[in-house]
Structure 1
Amino acid sequence: MWAGDGAALAQPPLPRFDVQIAPPDIAPWIEGNTGVPGFSSFIGPEPGPHVAVVALMHGNEVSGAMVLDRLLRARLRPRRGRLTLGFANLAAFARFDPEHPTASRFVDEDLNRLWDASVLDGPRQSSELDRARLMRPLIDTVDVLLDLHSMLWPSDPLTLSGPTEKGRALAQAIGVTGLVVADAGHVSGRRLIDYGRFASPATHEVAALVEAGQHWVPETVEVALACVAGLLRHVGMATDHPALPPRRPARASRYAEVTQAVTAATAGFAFVQSFRGGDIIPRRNTLIALDGTAEIRTPHDDCLLVMPSLRPSRGHTAVRLARFIQ
């Protein structure tokens, strides 16, 4: 669905989000075996890369945690290389309350906006910065990383590759979501997939981020699990382990590049209608939102709306606008 020109609608009250899945008990995995609480590594009998799958970068995105808990309880072990499964923001997850599920995204600040050397090495302090600094030496040994996320607002699943060709290749090899989006991240800070060793075109280390679906619904858990299975099969770590879903039929991923990341400049940012992630606006210059008095219009025909946030806070990404690439 898309809207033509017109005045932005007044924002309705924030809807109630039902939690349809039970958060996992990750107490058995808190100690880990890596020196970083919540992170466990396993070594295969044959040489290979160090692959990490990370969940709970945001403490209320429990679908990824459910996947890792399932794999750990099933004693999944790699056939080659080193496999690390990690729960990132333990402090925020400990606060998760199904009655108020949006309140535990982080404690002090977004853990997925801190992955810049100048920030990690700087003087600032927070719960999340302490955690990122603790995780960093382990992350510095990882060759291939998959970061599991979910979304607050309705959207088709997608994989974010970052701007590099190696990221795009990894995302397409994992498959599953059917849409790969290349973007440069957020003005508010670098994501884990934007960390230097993964984001530099000059290195072989690579990362991708899966947005597996909407928060707190069973389908999102299954998409995230299928993405992990796709990754492990791609790198030759696992094939038919009972904890992994059957291999999905191969499908060609559509590829889109973000042409504009729209950051809310005012507290009055409002879309002209309730867009869904994956909506395509056919015509250039179509009004899609008002940011105070500033009009937000599509910069090109067939404009893909990537993860529109229907209640964006000032200074945060409201939507990414993308163009499909052959």
Structure 2
Amino acid sequence: MLAAVSYGAKDLTLTTVWKAILHYDPKLTSHQIIHELRLPRVIGAAVMGAAFAVAGALMQGVTRNPLADAGILGINAGAMLMVALSFAFFPGIPYSALMLLSFIGAVLSTLFVFLLGSTSAGGLTPLRLTIAGAVVAALLHSASSGVAIYYDLSQDLAFWYAGGVAGVKWSHLKVLIPIISGAVIWAWVMGRSVSIVSLGDEVAVNLGVKTKRVRMLGMSAALILAGVSVSAVGSIGFVGLVIPHISRKLVGVDYRFVIPVSAFLGAILLVLADLGARIVNPPRELAIGVMVALVGVPFFLYLARKERRSL
């Protein structure tokens, strides 16, 4: 995080960064850059990375689907469509209202995915859930593009499509940090139940765990994390896909450890992705979603191939 604050279009020394954090002087331009631009975006990247990673870990645990992720299952697409509609019909909407509508869009898209995946014979399986999510995500992304073209919002929504933390302000963090922190703690408290559910319904029922209740609570926490994060930084996929797998390799399958480790690693990944997006071609910035996808897409293909072999 210190490196991410120091490097950018204007490189700053670590000494300057420390002085700006501990002894802020609004008269100094370097302190203004650090305090008003760099610090909120770096803290925002860490918070959103943790949120996307924990959301992915929860979804993979409660659905027993190793390919589950807020982007792949259409949750991000639902939130994005609601953002597009908000820009079209409610220009100048307050951020708190945008965040609420983004969350509603995430909920509706998730319900649509589960309904679509459950209609086929044999019920909802991890493979059907992934296919239904891909179909719904494609549909909602197309709808968002249609709204953007019809209402001439392409420039306004470009940031949200590509994803980025440049627009995160202190006012956003004051709203986001308490909500995301509460949802992460909620997920961690559910860790034992999610671990048991991830072993299978039969095992969970025999151990006295109410699987439907755990799934509903787990998905609710994941929806909060994904929905509010999209409202702040746009649709950033693959963080929730890659990080939980790395966490399980490091600490095992107990979600009491997977959740906090996923939060930590997700924060690191998005901070590094933002740093990379700023230093690859300064002073221009690449989309942070592109940097994450460079890691996420090959990893997704690897997991999809591995999953196909196990079927």
Please give the TM-score of this superposition, normalised by the length of structure 2: 0.27
TM-score of the superposed pair, with normalisation by structure 1: 0.26
